[in-house]
Amino acid sequence: MSALSPSILGFDAVTAVLVIPITAAALLALLPGYRMTARLNVVASLLTLLAALSLFFSARPPPGRYLLVDDLNIIFIVLNAFVGFTTSVFSADYIAHELEIGRLTPANLRFYHAMYQIMMFGMNLAFVSNNIGLMWVAVELATLTTVLMVGIYRTHEALEAAWKYFILGSVGIAFALFGTILVYLAAQAVVGTGYDAMVWTTLVEHAAGFDPALLNLAFIFLLLGYGTKVGLAPLHAWLPDAHAEGPTPISAVLSGLLLNVALYAVLRFKILLAATPEAISPGPLMMTMGLISLIFAAFMLYRRRDIKRLFAYSSIEHMGIIVFAFGLGGSLANFAGLLHMVMHSLTKSAIFFAVGHIAQIKGTQRLSAIRGLTETHPGLGWGLLAGVIAIAGLPPAGIFMSEFLIVSSTFAKQPLLAIPLVFGLLVAFGALLLRLTGAIFGQPRGSLAPAEASYLPMFLHLALVLAAGIYLPPQMVTWFQHIANLLR
């Protein structure tokens, strides 16, 4: 791999986004003491973010057999590193409180911080992989680490949620593995056996000669497999339990990052299918699963009594919207899908930052016990309100802009599909209004203890979402348009 400039700690930027988290994980597994490990976790996440940002300014190495940096994966890497960093800052306060009240032990904390960095390594590896087998391994690694972190409280409910996540995730990853093998079989007839038949750039270059029947079957298994990790209905059953029973920083990472990793894998294979003239169009399958997820989650929001489960179903809803947009295809819909993905990651992680502190103060996640936050805890109450306004797609937040573009593109290309799309959006908006009005503005109820935590990560995310709804820099628009055209 050629040298890059600038470098991070002597490594080129691509290597740094992998070496920093895995090295930090080894140190965090050995170091005692909460303060030291929490600070190291933040510092390692910050260094990873700096390495990711330097990809914008450094020369890109030529694609190798294992690693690739291109216009598509940079957006995922930078978003992953940014949310990973802000979540590590939030996590420092959140986990300190869990240690104080005895829900976690010092041994749990070493394990938690080490797993956090391994998770970041796994997600970054999935993004930069130029080998479809290596990408599969990386997605599985990121999944297994989050499974272990979901069950960290060792309660019956947490272990049940982790076990459910593991079983359903294993079924999904088995489907994805079978789909990956089918892609390899389709490729080896053209490029030969061995590594070349698994290298992404080689696959795209020779895709026109692949057996379309094998690719069609492969994409169905890949969409089902990675779609399980995206949280698409009816493959979503692990997601609400994992959010509700695991530590809230992991809920923020699951909604804001891990779902994007599986989405990235789906998009890579969508590009491969588009490069094969006789293969089926992946659009109808993606649009169908996206609309099913949107409408199903929208109605399920009305039945939620747990605030973390409520926003877990909101994640299913929004991933459905994103998958629908990419399935619709075309420059405008792909642009809107990218924008919505970024805005959802920032907004949903900010909401979970607020929800984590609220649940700690109130001592419960039940919505019936959370009332009048704007009076009892104004910072959290108004922050949660801003997050709900943003996630509901109201102006001037960035999600309003992305949803407007998705609906507009649907009216232009598939006008009949705009009916269920808008219907699902309105149903979800009504559910959020019904379930959260009392929590934000109702008669105060529950603990009035002050919140001893930093709100900076939450308000930083919300400020970015608001700014994106008002103004997008021309350079960012041009970059997104370029990526949208790559996705076809």
> pLDDT tens-digit profile of 284-309?
999 999 999 999 999 999 988 889 99
Residue 53 placed within a domain: no
- Asked if residue 467 has pLDDT above 60, the reply is yes
- Whether a cis peptide bond, with omega within 30° of 0, leads into 6 is yes
Q: Give the mean model confidence (pLDDT) for residues 123-130.
A: 94
pLDDT on residue 451:
62
Percent over 90 (pLDDT), the chain: 53
| CB-CB contact of 41 with 116 (8 Å) | yes
Residue 384 placed within a domain: yes
Structure-derived torsion over alpha carbons of residues 357, 143, 266, 134, reported in degrees to the nearest 10: 140
Q: Return the higher-pLDDT residue of 280 and 447.
A: 280
pLDDT digits (tens, 9 = 90+) for 339-374: 999 999 999 999 999 999 998 888 888 888 888 898
Q: Quick one: tokens of 57?
A: 């300014």
pLDDT on residue 182:
94
**Residue 313: band (very low, low, confident or very high) from pLDDT cuts 50, 70, 90:** very high
Residue 65 placed within a domain: no
pLDDT on residue 334:
94
Packing angle, helices 132-150 and 259-274, rounded to 10: 160
pLDDT digits (tens, 9 = 90+) for 153-179: 888 888 999 999 899 888 998 999 999
pLDDT on residue 5:
39
The pTM of the full predicted model, rounded to 2 decimals, is 0.93
Q: Quick one: tokens of 41?
A: 């976790």
- Asked if residue 9 has pLDDT above 60, the reply is no
pLDDT on residue 6:
41
Residue 360 placed within a domain: yes
Place of tokens 């991070």: 8
Burial environment of residue 298 by CB neighbours within 10 A (0 to 12, 13 to 18, 19 or more)? buried
Q: Quick one: tokens of 46?
A: 């910050």
pLDDT digits (tens, 9 = 90+) for 206-224: 888 888 899 999 999 999 9
Q: For residue 126, which of 266, 296, 289 has the smallest C-alpha distance?
A: 266
pLDDT on residue 7:
45
Residue 145 placed within a domain: no
In 3-state terms, what secondary structure has residue 262? helix
- Asked if residue 488 has pLDDT above 60, the reply is yes
pLDDT on residue 447:
66
Q: Give the mean model confidence (pLDDT) for residues 408-431.
A: 95
**For the chain, what is the mean pLDDT?**
89
Lowest pLDDT segment from 10-14, 214-218, 222-226, 333-337? 10-14
- Asked if residue 384 has pLDDT above 70, the reply is yes
Q: How many degrees, rounded to 5, is the angle at CA 198 between CA 196 and CA 201?
A: 75
- Asked if residue 486 has pLDDT above 80, the reply is yes
Range of the domain at 305: 284-488
Amino acid at site 245: E
Q: For residue 273, which of 174, 192, 187, 337 has the smallest C-alpha distance?
A: 187
- Whether a cis peptide bond, with omega within 30° of 0, leads into 378 is no
Residue 189 placed within a domain: no
| CB-CB contact of 351 with 462 (8 Å) | no
Residue 426 placed within a domain: yes
Residue 434 placed within a domain: yes
Amino acid at site 251: S
Q: How many degrees, rounded to 5, is the angle at CA 24 between CA 461 and CA 457?
A: 15
CA distance linking residue 231 with residue 233, whole number of Å: 6
CA distance linking residue 135 with residue 122, whole number of Å: 9
pLDDT on residue 1:
37
- Number of domains forming the structure of the chain: 1
The dihedral through the CA atoms of 318, 364, 389, 458 has a sign that is: negative
